[in-house]
């Protein structure tokens, strides 16, 4: 659960820049076709559900250098956290509980609406009338139906049916339901709430535009009149079907009255702007190689017990009077003062005792060091995609040249002997 919540939180944070950019671009695209706004919100939806992204030189997202340090800090703090701590369990549980509560609310709202219109009368095709509703809407997902109230004149009903059929044509009722589910997952992000509200408005504005682009002035006035008669100035927060007057009527009427067909140049510019937003705010910035090399390493604190000294076993057949001195373990960490000096200076500090041990017994030192895999000294940094290490023992081993394959053993011993000479 903690891992899943961490992924969701990361996606939600990464989407903040994209949402801000879409809100800004949305204000710029006032005279552009409204369906471009739906495309922009589709990009936001993808960013909120896709757990990965690609690097791009055009990305305007700030570098996430601190995140690597945050992961290292988490590795340091996690082992030292007091046992029985429930903080890490409470937050994911709260996230699930609130998200499920919102989802249940949407489901219950939808069920109540279906029960309310269960006695609707079929007019023709998928059109129903009901005396228990005040505004037309689309209901259903697989086979959506259009519900209209009684008492509508012919002109108003024609505008309403055109509007609701356009919703069905472009699957707006499904888009809104998906948006509500995404909102339930990212409920803790206030910008996701703003995005959902703006999505609902843009869905209605786009639908109005799709209807009136084939109307003349007289039909546009009739459409605006229908909006005025059936409009309800209240946005409903639910996964329920889209109502005809669900979004601010004043803005919709103004949009209908002032509608002008966009030029091809404006359409092309809007399309290029959407592409630019996706490239700049849906991708991660490329990390320069120099920054990878100059990355400040964080020393990880572990609670593992120190490695015991390695001594060569004795056998009963050993009768030689001279015995070889015991070799100190090559994996024994340096003193805290030495590690502190290494971190401050940035240069490797070598243990003199380690060098003396190699001089005394090169063959034995090699046998012990060859058992230590080079990868054990590294920690993998997933952000920079590079292995890094701050272990002083690795610097000692690397300086002695003991990391080699078995077939290089002879050359290694010769190299050590030459160095000692």
Q: Is residue 10 predicted with pLDDT exceeding 50?
A: yes
Q: Which residue has the tokens 């919703």?
A: 167
Query: Which tens digit of pLDDT belongs to each residue from 369-405?
Result: 555 445 455 555 555 555 566 556 666 666 665 554 4
- Please state the pTM of the whole predicted model: 0.64
pLDDT for 306:
43
User: What is the rounded distance in angstroms from the CA atom of residue 195 to the CA atom of residue 45?
Assistant: 9
pLDDT at residue 37, rounded to an integer: 94
For residues 340 and 343, what is the distance between their CA atoms, to the nearest angstrom? 5
Helices (H), 81-132: 87-116
pLDDT, average across residues 53-62: 84
Q: Can you tell me the mean pLDDT for 258-276? A: 91
- Structure confidence at residue 421 (pLDDT): 56
What is the spatial distance between Cα 252 and Cα 245, in angstroms, rounded to a whole number?
Answer: 9
User: Contact at 8 Å (CB) between 267 and 32?
Assistant: yes
CA angle (231 as vertex; 168, 23 as ends), nearest 5: 70
Lowest mean pLDDT: which of 107-116, 119-128, 184-193, 350-359? 350-359
What size, in residues, is the chain? Answer: 421
Q: Pseudo-torsion of CA 47, 53, 55, 61, nearest 10°?
A: 30
- Residue in this structure with the two tokens 């519900």, named with its chain if needed: 147
Q: What is the pLDDT of residue 350?
A: 47
Residue 169 pLDDT grade (very low, low, confident, very high; cuts 50, 70, 90): very high
What are 308-364's pLDDT values in tens digits? Answer: 444 444 444 444 444 444 444 444 444 445 444 544 454 444 455 555 555 566 656
pLDDT tier, 54 (very low <50, low <70, confident <90, very high otherwise): confident
Residue 79: pLDDT over 50:
no
pLDDT for 251 equals 83
Give the model's confidence band at 193: pLDDT under 50 very low, under 70 low, under 90 confident, else very high.
Answer: very high
Q: Which tokens hold the place of 24?
A: 């800004």
As given in the structure block, the two tokens for residue 32 are 């552009």
Alpha carbon 251 to its chain centroid, in Å, reads 34
Percent of the chain with pLDDT over 90: 31
| Average model confidence (pLDDT) across the chain | 74
**pLDDT above 50 for 68:** no
Q: 65 or 17, which is more confident?
A: 17
**DSSP output for 246-297:** -S-HHHHHHHHHT--PPPHHHHHHHHHHHHHHHHHHSSEEPPPHHHHHTPPP
C-alpha–C-alpha distance, residues 39 and 254, integer Å: 23
CA distance 30 to 101: 36
Cβ atoms of 65 and 294 within 8 Å: the answer is no
8 Å CB contact between 365 and 412: no
pLDDT tens for each residue of 242-254: 555 556 678 888 8
Q: How far apart are CA 358 and CA 146, in angstroms?
A: 86
Q: In this predicted structure, what is the pLDDT of residue 321?
A: 41
The pLDDT score that the predictor gives to residue 329 is 47
Order of strands across the sheet that contains 137-139: 121-124, 127-130, 145-149, 137-139
Burial class (CB in 10 A: 0-12, 13-18, 19+), 330: buried
Q: Which residue has the tokens 């971190």?
A: 343
Tens digit of each residue's pLDDT (9 = 90 or more) over 130-139: 988 888 889 9
State the pLDDT at residue 61.
85
């Amino acid at each position: 659960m903690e891992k899943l919540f961490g992924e969701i939180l990361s996606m939600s944070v990464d989407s903040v820049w994209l949402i801000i950019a879409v809100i800004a671009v949305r204000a710029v695209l006032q005279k552009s076709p409204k369906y471009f706004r739906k495309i922009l919100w589709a990009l936001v939806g993808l960013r909120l559900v896709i757990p990965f992204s690609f690097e791009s030189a055009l990305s305007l997202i700030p570098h996430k250098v601190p995140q690597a340090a945050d992961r290292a800090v988490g590795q340091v703090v996690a082992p030292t956290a007091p046992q029985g701590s429930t903080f890490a369990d409470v937050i994911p549980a709260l996230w699930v509980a609130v998200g499920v509560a919102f989802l249940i609310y949407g489901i219950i709202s939808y069920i109540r609406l279906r029960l309310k219109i269960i006695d609707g009368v079929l007019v023709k095709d998928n059109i129903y009338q009901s005396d228990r509703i005040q505004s037309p809407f689309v209901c259903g997902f697989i086979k959506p139906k259009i519900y209209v109230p009684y008492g509508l004149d012919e002109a108003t009903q024609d505008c309403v049916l055109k509007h609701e059929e356009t919703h069905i044509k472009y699957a707006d009722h499904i888009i809104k339901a998906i948006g509500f589910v995404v909102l339930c997952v990212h409920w803790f992000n206030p910008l996701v709430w703003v995005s959902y509200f703006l999505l609902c408005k843009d869905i209605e504005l786009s639908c109005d535009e799709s209807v009136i682009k084939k109307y003349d002035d007289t039909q546009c006035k009739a459409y605006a009149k229908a909006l005025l008669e059936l409009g309800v100035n209240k946005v409903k927060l639910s996964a329920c079907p889209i109502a005809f007057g669900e979004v601010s009527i004043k803005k919709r009427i103004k949009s209908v009255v002032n509608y002008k067909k966009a030029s091809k140049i404006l359409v092309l510019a809007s399309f290029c702007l959407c592409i630019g937003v996706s490239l700049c705010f849906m991708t991660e910035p490329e990390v320069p190689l120099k920054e990878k090399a100059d990355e400040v390493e964080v020393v990880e604190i572990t609670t593992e017990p120190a490695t015991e000294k390695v001594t060569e076993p004795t056998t009963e057949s050993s009768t030689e009077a001279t015995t070889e001195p015991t070799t100190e373990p090559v994996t024994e960490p340096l003193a805290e003062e030495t590690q502190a000096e290494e971190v401050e200076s940035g240069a490797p500090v070598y243990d003199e005792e380690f060098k003396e041990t190699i001089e005394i017994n090169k063959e034995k030192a090699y046998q012990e060091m060859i058992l230590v895999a080079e990868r054990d000294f590294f920690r993998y940094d997933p952000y920079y995609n590079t292995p890094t290490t701050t272990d002083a023992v690795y610097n000692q081993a690397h300086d002695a040249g003991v990391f080699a394959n078995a077939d290089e053993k002879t050359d290694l011993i010769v190299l050590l002997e030459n160095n000692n000479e």
